[in-house]
Amino acid sequence: MNEIESWRNGEWIPNSKIGTNLWDAHYFFGWAVFDAFRTYNHKPHLLQEHIDRLYRSATLAEIEFDMPKKKMMDLVYECIEHNKKFLPKDEEFRFMVFVSPGFFRIYDDMGPIEPIITINPTTASRYAKHIAPYLEKGVTSIISSQRQIPARFFDPKIKSCSRLHYGIADAEAAKYGRNVMPILLDEFGYITESSGSNVGFIKDGNVCLPKSGDMLGGCTMKFVETKCIKTKIIKDNWEVYDIINADAIFFTSTFSGITPSYEIIYRNKRHKLDGGKKIIDEIIDIFSKQVGVDINKQWKDWYAKML
């Protein structure tokens, strides 16, 4: 079959056949952890950092499995080699790695009670239509009415599949347009993150990042913070007042890289942000040099082929 295949518990399965079993704890409770990353020039970016986070998430989620980290990383490279034949030369992979505890014990007659590990590669370019049109003009941000779950109830540093609150925030944002991304506040009204990205903003020539504990520790934001930002970084508990008076906002994610925002919606009112582009462009340029790919050009080239 001429199709990219995923690895699951020792088997190669065509992506069209991949799914979550009805009896899996992943399906019932969202009781599973995952991590996501992509390749640049067919090399997985920040693989060690993402696998480390996956294993930390599994420990905190009480999911036990005995695969060493090195074996997991070796399997990622094996997936790349196994599926390279399906990729055009200018294509890249997006990876999702899932670990669930397997079937609930009360369903032991439906299959073995053992962890289920899935390494799922897909093509990166398929998402270009959701990213490329907004690289220059930016997306619109919205302060979501959906709050972040406090760490005192559920640690958001667990990258889990229990993500209903993110879905609600996304659904609310989508009512304002396809190019709208939510920003969730914590229980005290401080800025945390988006539904799948970390958030920062530019103000008076400085890069401002939230220090709230109620958010995921982003591998890409950490990379950007340590490798790509040449100006002053200020970390604080930022409120809505601070971000709607920003010069510009940016989102970071392993998959899309850095996405700017020059408009923010709060209480149905749109606030234009009219600065900060120079610094964001500089961050994107440094990021591209670090990963060895002009990331914005790559997204635009992929998108052009879809038109």
Claim to verify: residue 71 and residue 170 sit in the same structural domain: no
Write down which residue in 73, 93, 123 finishes a domain.
123
Q: What is the dihedral of CA 131, 201, 254, 141, to 10 degrees?
A: -40
Q: 191 and 68 in one domain?
A: no
Confidence (pLDDT) at 259:
96
Contact by Cβ (8 Å): 207, 242: no
DSSP per-residue codes, 43-88: EETTHHHHHHHHHHHHHHTT------HHHHHHHHHHHHHHHGGGS-
Kindly state whether residues 88 and 155 are assigned to the same domain. no
- Please report where in the chains the tokens 């969730």 appear, as a residue: 184
Last residue of a domain, one of 123, 142, 157: 123
Closest of 270, 258, 301 to residue 138, by C-alpha: 258
* Residue range of the domain that includes 27: 5-123
28 and 118 share one domain: yes
Are residues 253 and 106 both part of a single domain? Answer: no
Below-70 pLDDT ranges, the chain: 1, 112
What tens digit of pLDDT does each residue of 291-303 get?
999 999 999 999 9
pTM to 2 decimal places: 0.94
Phi, psi of 70 (to 5 degrees): -60, -40
Give residue 2's pLDDT: 80
CA distance linking residue 232 with residue 230, whole number of Å: 7
Q: How many domains does the chain have?
A: 2
Q: What is the model's pLDDT at position 36?
A: 97
According to the model, what pLDDT value does residue 146 have?
Answer: 98
Which of 302, 7, 270, 55 lies closest to 142 in space, CA to CA?
Answer: 270
Predicted confidence (pLDDT) per residue in 225-239, tens digit: 999 999 999 999 999
- Torsional class of 53: left (φ above 0), alpha (ψ -120 to 50), beta (otherwise): alpha
What is residue 107's three-state secondary structure? helix
Would you state the pLDDT for residue 110?
Answer: 75
Beta bridge mates, 11: 8
Domain boundary among 123, 147, 180: 123
d(CA 211, CA 242): 14
Output the pLDDT for position 1: 55
Is 136 in the same domain as 165? Answer: yes
**CATH code for the domain of 259:** 3.20.10.10
